[in-house]
């Protein structure tokens, strides 16, 4: 959240102002234990859009508190039943479609290790 506050401040906003909160949440849990090997960013992004975090046409209102909070990422070990992500929206009817889109978005393998890529692959000067 510190990085978020610095971005708000840099744009002239009040970093201490309360952030909008969605009225409803739904926790998505891991169905099995193991290591997260992949997370489909497109599925996660489209799911967030379906929750109200984006618009499908010009002028449509965006729910400021809608979106997806990730609790785990590729390379992390997770236990069955542990939270993977929390979905946020003001309209509970949006959960069903978002959850359908998220089917198969996360791959978990039993045991082993995952080779994470470095955050910076190379520098171009």
Q: For the segment 11-63, what is each residue's pLDDT rounded down to a tens digit?
A: 999 988 888 899 999 999 999 999 999 999 999 999 999 999 999 889 889 98
Query: What is the rounded CA–CA span in Å between residue 103 and residue 82?
Result: 17
User: What is the domain range of residue 73?
Assistant: 19-109
Q: Is residue 122 part of a domain?
A: no
Q: Is residue 32 part of a domain?
A: yes
Q: For the segment 84-105, what is each residue's pLDDT rounded down to a tens digit?
A: 999 999 999 999 999 999 999 9
- What confidence score (pLDDT) does residue 111 get? 78
The DSSP code for 125 is -
Number of separate domains in the chain: 1
pTM over 0.85: no
Q: Is residue 46 part of a domain?
A: yes
| For helices 41-48 and 94-102, angle between their N-to-C axes, nearest 10 degrees | 180
**Which CATH number does the domain housing residue 49 bear?**
3.90.1170.30
């Amino acid at each position: 959240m510190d990085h978020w506050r610095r971005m708000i401040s840099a744009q002239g906003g009040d970093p201490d102002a309360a952030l909008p909160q969605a009225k409803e949440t739904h926790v998505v849990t891991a169905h099995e234990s193991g290591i997260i090997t992949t997370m489909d960013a497109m599925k996660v992004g489209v799911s967030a859009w379906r929750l109200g975090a984006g618009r499908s046409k010009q002028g449509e209102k965006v729910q400021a508190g809608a979106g997806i909070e990730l609790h785990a990422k590729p390379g992390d070990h997770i236990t069955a039943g542990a939270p993977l992500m929390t979905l946020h929206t003001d309209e509970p009817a949006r959960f069903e479609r978002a959850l359908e889109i998220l089917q198969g978005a996360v791959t978990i393998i039993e045991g082993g290790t995952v080779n994470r890529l470095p955050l910076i692959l190379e520098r171009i000067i």
